[in-house]
Structure 1
Amino acid sequence: MGKKRPDLTPQLQEFIKEQKIFFVGTAADSGFVNVSPKGMATFYVLNSQQVLWLNMTGSGNETAAHVLKDARMTVMFCSFDKTPLILRLYGTAEVYHERDAVFSEYMSNFEETAGARQIFKLSIELVQSSCGFGVPFMEYKGERDTLKVWAEHKGEPGIKEYWTEKNQTSLDGFDTGIFE
């Protein structure tokens, strides 16, 4: 059965460190709900009530647009091996860009990666865990390097051009705040 608590225990923090994928859910007060899978080494636990995740450049920028409209965010982890567990972190998020003073401080928690777009900080209001008995076993085979190679090939000027073309508005036409 599901358990609720206000923060991440050391055991849950360890569970997060072991996961290779997580999912981020956001929504504005209207329009589409967005759920995005995230991988690579892009998640970091600051403390029992705050986490960070590094958002890489991608085809859309829904999460940033939604957080500007409504800061609610859910992050979900689920175990596909070992002991089954689903872990959801509910809270409010802030988005930081490289132009923000705190960005470099938070970036120090991640590997420097071409194509880093934003860092989100989630202040946790509720942690919910559940059994995960219905989640299938799946085998982790490794990270894809396609996104890293693509971003390195584009270089910083190419990434900024991509942001201009593809990352300024959401599917619903909301501003993403990618540029000041």
Structure 2
Amino acid sequence: MAISLSKGQKVDLTKTNPGLTKIIIGLGWDTNKYDGSSDFDLDASAFLLGGSGKVQSEQDFIFYNNPSGAEGAVVHTGDNKTGAGEGDDEQIKVDLSKVPATIEKIDFTITIHEAAERKQNFGQVSNAYVRIFNEVTDEELIRYDLGEDFSVETAIVVAELYRHGNEWKFNAVGSGFQGGLAALCANFGLNV
């Protein structure tokens, strides 16, 4: 049975699941009905962060156009342009045993593609969640439902995995940003 978290909660991932190495981070969402003419295209990404809390290079920003990083330890499985249907809308696979020691945190984010041009924000999104499940057994381990706390934000840091000694922990972040992908990238040390 999965552990359900609230914003700000942290939980051990590998300590409570000995031998766990291959996980999948599933991100999902629905869009509310609105009067706009454009479809919503939400995108999941991962930022691989060093000790400074910043990426060390552009290769540490994992998304649909740069789907693999950390020497293949982190892989984005593809872009879902509509979010239609049940289950995860986008997934990122992580092999914890292969993440280079220089990477201390992996932050998972969701952004709205062309949010400003399409006049879209997270106030128009519902049922957003992140979950972690064991890639080998398909068992869901952790789930964080973001709730309806957002309005004008166009990017969200959903959660992060971080090293704690030899173990990995999970933090339900739920922090929103205005300014979309550019603001998010600047926060993590990238210029777009």
| TM-score (ref. length: structure 2) | 0.31
| TM-score (ref. length: structure 1) | 0.32
